[in-house]
Amino acid sequence: MPYESSGRVRQKRRTREALVAALHELMKSTAAPSTDEVARAAGISRATAYRYFPDQDALIRAAYPEIADRPHFSDDDGPSAVTDRVRVVVDLQLDIEKWEPQLRAALGSTLRSGAGPAPLRGGRAIGWFEDALTVLTPAWPAERVRQTAIRLRAVVGIEAWIWLIDIASVPPTDARSIMRDNAGAVLRSALDEIG
């Protein structure tokens, strides 16, 4: 973002915001619009748009949702029971429809990138599940918490959503219910293993 950090920074911020707003609007009907389409929709020149988004991945990164509602668990904030804490994270993950086009585009970009770490998907939800599970320590070692968090994330999120909606033809309300039930089963299984 060197281009955006020098010169008329406020104007450049407004231009970026206009491009991102146009991108979000276009994604309601087009999974991955081109930089040209976004520029046209924002009323900004193609050349200017490419200064902000030189390729499709840069464009998709801009659309990727920044979820501000990250769950915070502390002694005096939020539920204390592990099942309730996990439910908070599951419910946050199940707010998929709000960001579905962006999440689908990010997943598609990850799949196109080939081997190696996913460029757009940092595994934030795994950390959220780990935070929810911390009430089980020291009974659970860190590795067990991590593995359970990964198992929970595997059954909720855009990947499970796409399979349920697109492949199994399940209605959205049923898909949410299935993912919630699957997360509950994963947690019960993990808790049963430690007795």
Structural domain spans, the chain: 3-63, 82-194
Distance CA 178, CA 183 (A): 9
Predicted TM-score (pTM) above 0.85: no
When pLDDT is cut at 50, 70 and 90, the band that residue 72 belongs to is low
Residues 186, 181, 96, CA angle at the centre, nearest 5°?
A: 105
Q: What is the pLDDT of residues 157-193, one digit of tens each?
A: 888 999 999 999 999 999 999 999 999 999 999 988 7
24-38, 79-93, 110-124, 155-169 — which is least confidently predicted?
110-124
Provide the pLDDT for residue 115: 43
CATH number, domain 3-63, options 1.10.10, 1.10.540, 3.40.462, 1.20.1300: 1.10.10
Burial 29-47 (b: 16+ CB within 10 A, else e): eeebbebebbbbbbebeee
Q: What is the mean pLDDT of the chain?
A: 80
Q: 167 vs 60, which has greater pLDDT?
A: 167
41 pLDDT higher than 70: yes
Kindly state the helix (H) or strand (E) to which residue 168 belongs, with its residue range.
none
54-58, 80-84, 121-125, 154-158 — which is least confidently predicted?
121-125
Closest CA to 107 of 64, 78, 48: 64
Q: What is the pLDDT of residues 87-106, one digit of tens each?
A: 988 988 888 777 777 777 77
